[in-house]
Amino acid sequence: MTAQVVVIDYGMSNLASLARSLEKCGASPLFSSDPKEILEASKIILPGVGSFAEGMANLSKLGLVSPLRDIASGKTIPILGICLGMQLLASTGSEGYEVEGLNLIPGKVIKLESHNDQDKIPHVGWNNIEIKQDDPILAEIPDNTDFYFVHSYYFQPTSEDTIIATTPHCGNFASVIRLNNIYGTQFHPEKSSQPGLKLLSNFLNL
């Protein structure tokens, strides 16, 4: 692939498994925290594990908030947020106190709440997605495919039109979202075996 895929390295993710998965999909990703390199990318991946507040603080400290908003506003460069990276796309997060997010997809990040004895928090392990609307990022991925999750908070979009797929846990939460060129997955595709590789490949081929 000639397109330069930039994975944002802001100190909130173990990047090794993502690197291996992207290489299996034929990409040679650049891992960077340099705003100039990110602005020149043809595709951007924002991974992440940890807290919303710390994630936003790190992006801000590295001077990456404005470049990401500028790229998103152009509606041409595909952006994929993974796990915490998806949550940071939101307007606000509320881990203890409210923090402003990137506000690339309107919505808020809130804590999962158990509905029954099966609803364990954090939500860790394999669970299925229920596809709500067709989208290229899920091409050739069947409804009810399992992916690997690790999280205690979830993204609640303002508009249901941005929800591509949901997952049944603590009720139902949005597990794949999209607004224009901006995508998010609550699960970790890089830890989700062949379905995860297919999703990453679909993103690379957008």
pTM above 0.85, yes or no: yes
The angle, 0 to 180 degrees and rounded to 10, between the axes of the packed helices 65-74 and 52-61 is 90
For the domain 5-204, what is the CATH code?
A: 3.40.50.880
Percent of residues, the chain, with pLDDT higher than 70:
99
Concerning whether 190 is annotated as a catalytic residue, the answer is yes
Percent of residues, the chain, with pLDDT higher than 90:
92
- pLDDT tens-digit readout, 143-197: 999 999 999 999 999 999 999 999 999 999 999 999 999 999 999 999 999 999 9
Which of 123, 151, 169, 190 is flagged as catalytic? 190
Q: Taking phi first (over 0 means left), then psi (-120 to 50 degrees means alpha), and beta for anything else, what does residue 89 get?
A: alpha
Which of 123, 151, 169, 188 is flagged as catalytic? 188
- pLDDT tens-digit readout, 1-23: 345 899 999 999 889 999 999 99
Alpha-carbon span 186 to 179, nearest angstrom: 15
What DSSP element (H or E) covers 95?
A: none
- The overall average pLDDT reported for the chain is 95
Which of 83, 123, 151, 170 is flagged as catalytic? 83
Token code pair at residue 164: 């591509």
Concerning whether 115 is annotated as a catalytic residue, the answer is no
> Where are the domains positioned within the chain?
5-204
Find the length of the chain.
Answer: 206
Concerning whether 83 is annotated as a catalytic residue, the answer is yes
- Number of neighbouring beta carbons within 10 Å of residue 107: 25
